Amino acid sequence: MDFLTLFGIYVVVVLTCIALVCKYSGQQHTPLSRVYNKLSEVVSPWIPQCFQNICYRSMHRLFHQRNRFFIYLHIVLETVVYGEFSYEIFGFCLEMDTTLFNACLPYVFLAIKSYIFYLCCSKDPGTLTKENHAVQLKVYQYDEKLYQKGINCQTCQFLKPARSKHCSVCDRCVQRFDHHCIWVNNCIGAQNTRFFMLYLLSVCAMACDIALLTVDMLFHTVVRSGIMHANYIDAEGLRQPVGPLFVVQHLFITFPRIVFMLGFVVFVFFLVAGYTMFHCYLALVNQTSNEWFKRKGHGCQYCSPVSGRQCHTSHNPLRGFYHRGVLKNIGEIIWPSCPTQKKDN
């Protein structure tokens, strides 16, 4: 398999992942999602309607119904990455100047991340029940903009506390609802936001460490081979010095699995790192992603042409109604209000 074929497969896989993330993450106004929609309009007339229906039902089942597919996919991807790292990179790291602790650090991150991942999957996000409903009504004040008094959840038949939302995937109302995460098959709410933040940080640390060790391994391989001082004969029969592009092509052909793994973990790192920074920002200003997107004009659940209610976003979206100072905002995530205790505003 030549370089162009490998590179073409790699590009297709990466672009497919980006397209799926943009299409089904709920963010319909990003540049990539608009490109995806345009391409869909062009391609869809050439695809049989029955096949489109099957694809739509499959995607709906995966992204909009509670299932464990992405948990299993998460485990499979993790197994593949660590299998490749253990098989081809770990031993090479021990032969270099890498200490045993640094070589084993990815496994430490894996153990920490796996435990936090379990907590994200299993911990209750803050489900509203008959037992805690009266208490949760007093946790947050209504801002009378995104959250207004007197609004009932049509499914749960509860008076909705401020900052709560009914999750259509889990079919339950969640206090301080942030979003439904398909990767942990659970909602992110008041009681498990801290675990979700730690999960994002641990994934970033794990991906970054593996990427650095892999780059170090490839760098030492290039140095030991002496390829940077070599020459090659071009198509015109002239001798040319080896450049960076030739080295990358050489590594792509010689270590295809390692390069694919490196590209994947780098992609994961930048994707998750950006998402982590976004959630860190939300934590500092005491907003949820649900509130942030509503304030940015993605619609409000209380605006209704029938009732005539209109929400106003006079509050600065960079500092929400519930902003109480950085330290108190962080403390609210680390030590969320217990559903059996009252909390004064």
Range with lowest mean pLDDT among 18-22, 75-79, 111-115, 148-152: 18-22
Catalytic residue among 181, 187, 208, 311: 181
Buried b vs exposed e over 241-254: b needs ≥16 C-beta within 10 Å?
ebeeeebebbbbee
Which band of pLDDT confidence, cut at 50, 70 and 90, is reported for residue 128?
A: very high
User: Which ranges of the chain does DSSP label H, i.e. alpha helix?
Assistant: 3-24, 31-43, 49-64, 69-84, 90-95, 100-122, 133-136, 193-225, 244-254, 256-285, 289-295, 326-334
Q: What is the pLDDT of residue 278?
A: 93
Closest-CA residue to 77 (of 165, 168, 207): 207
Residue 187 bears catalytic tag: no
- Dihedral over alpha carbons 202, 205, 211, 215 (to 10 degrees): -160
**Token pair recorded at residue 66:** 């509670």
**pTM for this entry:** 0.82
Show me where the domains of the chain are located: 1-65, 66-276
Range with lowest mean pLDDT among 199-203, 212-216, 340-344: 340-344
Q: How does the average pLDDT of the chain come out, rounded?
A: 82
Which band of pLDDT confidence, cut at 50, 70 and 90, is reported for residue 343?
A: very low
